Amino acid sequence: MRPWTAALACLLLVPAAQSDETLTRAIAEDYGYLDALFEYFHRNPELSFLESNTAARLAEELRQQDFEVTTGVGGTGVVAIMRNGEGPVVMIRADMDGLPVEEKSGLAYASVARQVNLAGQEVPVMHACGHDMHMATLVGTARRLNAARNEWRGTVMLIGQPAEERIGGAKAMVEDGLYERFGRPDYALALHVASSWPAGKITFRPGLMYSSSDSVDITVHGVGSHGASPHKGKDPIVIASQIVVALQTLVAREISPLEPGVVTVGAFHSGFKHNIISDRADLQLTVRANSEATREALLAGIKRIAENVGRAAGLPEDKLPTVDLSVESTPTTYNDPRLAARVYKTLSENMGEDMFVAFEQRGMGAEDFPYFTRVDPPIPGLYFQVGGTPQADIDAELAGGPPVAAHHSPLFKIAPEPSIKTGVRAMTLAALELLDRS
Give pLDDT, residue 22.
87
| Residue type (1 letter), 270 | S
* Cα distance between residue 368 and residue 206, in whole Å: 18
156, 84 in Cβ contact below 8 A?
yes
* Tens-level pLDDT at each residue, the chain (438 residues): 454 555 554 444 444 344 567 899 999 999 999 999 999 999 999 999 999 999 999 999 999 999 999 999 999 999 999 999 999 999 999 999 999 999 999 999 999 999 999 999 999 999 999 999 999 999 999 999 999 999 999 999 999 999 999 999 999 999 999 999 999 999 999 999 999 999 999 999 999 999 999 999 999 999 999 999 999 999 999 999 999 999 999 999 999 999 999 999 999 999 999 999 999 999 999 999 999 999 999 999 999 999 999 999 999 999 999 999 988 899 999 999 999 999 999 999 999 999 999 999 988 999 999 999 999 999 999 999 999 999 999 999 999 999 999 999 999 999 999 999 999 999 999 999 999 987
User: What pLDDT, on the 0 to 100 scale, is given for residue 2?
Assistant: 53
114-116 and 333-335 beta bridge pairing: unpaired
Q: What pLDDT was estimated at residue 326?
A: 84
The CATH code for residues 212-329 is 3.30.70.360
Helix (H) / strand (E) element for 178: namely helix 178-182
Domain ranges of the chain: 3-211+332-434, 212-329
pTM across the whole model: 0.91
Q: How high is the pLDDT of residue 194?
A: 97
Answer whether CATH 3.40.630.10 is correct for domain 3-211+332-434. yes
- Which residues contact residue 400 at a Cβ distance below 8 angstroms, ignoring those fewer than 6 apart? none
Label residue 118 exposed, middle or buried (CB < 10 Å: 0-12, 13-18, 19+): exposed
Cβ 321 vs Cβ 220: under 8 Å: yes
Bridge partners of 187? 90
3-state SS of 64-115? CCCCEEEEEECCCEEEEEEEECCCCEEEEEEECCCECCCCCCCCCCCCCCEE
